[in-house]
Structure 1
Amino acid sequence: MRKIYFLAIAPAIMFVGTTVHAQTINQQQATVAMQQPQPFLFTINTLNPGARNWSVNYSGGYGQHTITPLGYDGVDQNLAVKGYLGDKFTFMASMGVGFANKGEVNSLQQVEVLRDFVGGNQPLGFRIGASLGFRREFNNDKVALSRITAAFENQVWRMGANVRFEKAFAQERDGIDVISSIGVHRQITGSLFGGIEAIGQDLEGFWETDEAEGGAKLLVGPSLNYVPVASRFSFTLCGGPIIYATRSVGLANNLAARELPATNGFTMKFNVGFRF
């Protein structure tokens, strides 16, 4: 009788055990996926407390009718260093080179220091921070910048958001530029996450008819992030159409470095990160 009973419940025990084992592996892979410096391409956040080590990130892409901190209307490449300074401070420095379709070659440099002020003690949960930075743009304009950052991460979901304020020390530029972004990832399987990322540039164009850089621009596109098991590498891909949402009567400065273009177009970008 006992043998019959055991044979009857054995398949159920094996099924439960296999399911629990698969869930455990899946959670472990998701934890590894959080241990990376830059899960999104346009949304910058402080380092996750589970990934506070130094890293090198190489990114590039291609766009038409697009202006970015990495390039414009052509092929762009960027090399960045990101690391933890202690006391919830994150440091990031980058240099970009743009190869325009018209043949010009220009460079960009940026440095930024971020800090968590709410949360940031545990790998999971919310954290909110802020930053200060400086950038020399492709056209040699000097820009001071600051951003408010927010992030939420657990085993299944990953979210990030920025509101960035910029002050360009050049004529025919906005007094203050407002650029926002938000990224949302959900675990697809293991350490593969997918979702969307949205960016809004020169949002003051929605309420200022004389916005100096052509008006508000929007991008919403799919985003994928993958971290191979037992690897220090991570890979991110994002892109999509760029929409000119408003048109201002101001003079558009097409050399301003931004994530979005001055006219309708598209962009595709990738990032390869390596953790030390």
Structure 2
Amino acid sequence: MKKTLYLVLSLVLSGVAAMAQNAGPINPTGNFKMAAPQPFLFSVNTLTGSSPYWSLNYSGSYGERTLTPFGYDGVDQQLAVKGYLGNQFTLYANAALGFARDGGTTSAQQAELMHDFIGGKQLFGPRIGLSLGGSRDWTNVKSIFSRVTASFDAASWRFAGNLRFEKAFDKSRDGIDLITSLGFHHRIIGNFYAGAEAVGEDLEGFWEADEAEGGAKLLIGPSVNYIPSGSRFGFSICGGPIIYATHSNVVPSEAVRDLSTLSQNGYTVRAQVSFNLH
């Protein structure tokens, strides 16, 4: 399965390189109707008045050697809603359902409100914001979190990054969890973008031997986003190896994590379909 994953990713990158040689001219003014409401799989970007106002996003993922009590060693499904509320405010909420290999199922939910303090009035240019949200993880542990969001959109490329601080209301968890993510896309042709995404979770594991979620985890892999011309649908895919950078001496918890807690290195692939309601 691992060889198959790498073969698929290699074919995607080969296709991207071939199309790059025949890329058409870039429209310097862009087209807000074709803007992606959620182009990245691991970084959340804010919306603007020039972006699609409301969208539904369905994603599914598969991973191996990601054994955890909440079912990421297999398949999980997620449905999210994202919308622009005006005055530089963005709402993002999702619910996830995980299917364990032993036949069990678990669920988790979270919601947050983001506000751009720098930029956020136009699609192109920099945006820096802050969010406040809450979540319920797979074992019914509640958490509050805050996310620093940064993004930059141009006619031919886009960037998004998050720095998330999370406080779980459970004595077995860390005082504060730290999660970072970065994504970069470059326009290849038309509304086809390709690039890479990187994620670092529970990074306090680099300096805390008793990090409660099992240690620091890293992922980096290719990322693709495509919106067919004139369509309300958008498609994204990202995947790659998950590296367990450090190993905690504490039994991992069941906090909500995009990269599941690993006993050894593994991999994950996530695909998403977005539907623009505006």
Range into which the TM-score falls when normalised by the shorter chain = 0.7 to 0.9
1:92 is paired with a residue whose SS is: strand
Moved over 6 A (4+): none
CA distance in 2, matches of 1:252, 1:107: 18
How far 1:66 moved relative to its partner? Answer: 3.0
Secondary structure of 1:51's match? coil
1:75-119 superposed Cα distances (whole Å, 9 cap, x missing partner)? 111111111111111011111111111211011111110010001
Determine if contact 1:29/1:229 at 8 Å carries over to the other structure. no
Q: What amino acid is the match of 2:235?
A: F
**C-alpha deviation, 1:29, in angstroms:** 9.8
Report the Cα offset of residue 238 of structure 1: 0.4
Q: Which residue of 2 aligns with 1:269?
A: 270
Matches within 5 A, 1:180-219: 180-219=180-219
Letter in 1 for 2:273: V
SS of residue paired to 2:50: helix
Matching residue of 1:44:
44
**For the aligned residues, what is the CA RMSD?**
1.9
1:84-123 paired onto structure 2 within 5 Å: 84-123=84-123
Residues in 1 aligned to 2:65 and 2:256: alpha-carbon distance in whole angstroms: 13
C-alpha distance 166-157 of structure 1, shift in aligned 2 (>3 A):
same
Give the TM-score, by structure 2 length: 0.86
- AA partner of residue 268 (structure 1): V
Q: 2:83 corresponds to which residue?
A: 83
User: Does 216-225 or 99-108 show the bigger shift?
Assistant: 99-108
Q: 2:169 maps to which residue? A: 169
Amino acid at match of 2:189: T
Q: Give 2:158's aligned amino acid.
A: R
- CA shift, 1:249, in A, is 2.0
Match of 2:237 in 1: 237
Larger Rg computed on CA atoms: 1
Contact preservation (8 Å) 2:34, 2:229: no
Which residue does the alignment assign to 1:14? none
How many equivalent residue pairs? 251
- CA pair 48-77 structure 1, distance change in 2 beyond 3 A: same
Q: Which runs of 5+ in 1 are unaligned?
A: 1-21
**1:128 matched residue in structure 2:** 128
Q: Distance in 2 between matches of 1:59 and 1:30?
A: 26
Residue 217 of structure 2 aligns to which amino acid in structure 1? K
Q: Structure 2: how far apart are the matches of 1:131 and 1:181?
A: 15
Contact 2:236–2:273, Cα closer than 8 Å, also in 1: yes
CA drift at 1:28: 7.4
Letter in 1 for 2:101: N
> Once the 2 structures are TM-superposed, how far is the Cα of residue 139 of structure 1 from its aligned partner?
1.3
Where does structure 2 lack aligned partners over 5 or more consecutive residues?
1-23
Identity %: 54
Aligned equivalent of 1:143: 143
Q: Which amino acid is the alignment partner of residue 260 of structure 1? A: L
C-alpha displacement at 1:135, in angstroms?
0.7
Contact 1:79 1:95 in 2 (8 A): yes
1:53-80 deviation line (CA, Å, top 9, x unaligned): 1111111111123379x95111111111
Tell me: CA distance 1:89–1:51, structure 2 relative to 1, closer, same or farther (3 Å): same
Q: Which amino acid aligns with 1:43?
A: S
